[in-house]
Structure formats: structure tokens, C-alpha cells
Amino acid sequence: MSGTTMVVMIVFISVGFGVMYDMYKKHLEFKHRTLTDNKESNNQITAVTAEMLALKERVQTLEAIVTDQSYSVKQEINKL
């Protein structure tokens, strides 16, 4: 093998490993970003679920008030 061929092969191997290392770093950054985004999404889902449950309780309370017989009687009295 000639000296020029060895130099070219060393350059190609060095560049190849450099590219592979950069790709690996980008993969790790993407993985970290994905995990962080998933945590934020889970926090948002938890908050929305808690708010939805609170609103369901409020709606149930309002339905109980509106369907109560004394409420309709009050409305009829107020109309008079």
C-alpha cells in the first residue's frame, strides 16, 4: 500500500468517525428533548384532567339545583 493511499484512508476513517460521533450527539440531544417534552405534556394532561373533574362536579351541583322541586317553585313565585 502506498503512502498516499494510507493518508487518504486515514482521512476518510477520521472524517467517518467524526460524522458518526456528531450523529450520536444529535441523537442524544433529540432523546433528551423528547423526554423533556413528554414530562411537560404529562403535566399538562394532569392539570387538564383535574380541571375537567372539578368542572364535572360543578355541573352536577348545578344540575341538582336546577332539577330540585323547590327551585322551580321559587321561579314560579318570582314570576308572580
Helix 69-79, helix 3-67: angle, nearest 10: 60
Phi and psi of 48, rounded to 5°?
Answer: -65, -40
pTM of the model: 0.49
**pLDDT given at position 35:** 84
CA distances from 50 to 39, 43, 54, 60 (A): 17, 11, 6, 16
pLDDT tens digits, one per residue of 7-65 = 999 999 999 999 999 999 999 999 998 888 888 888 889 999 999 999 999 999 888 87
Burial level of 1, CB count in 10 A (0-12/13-18/19+)?
exposed
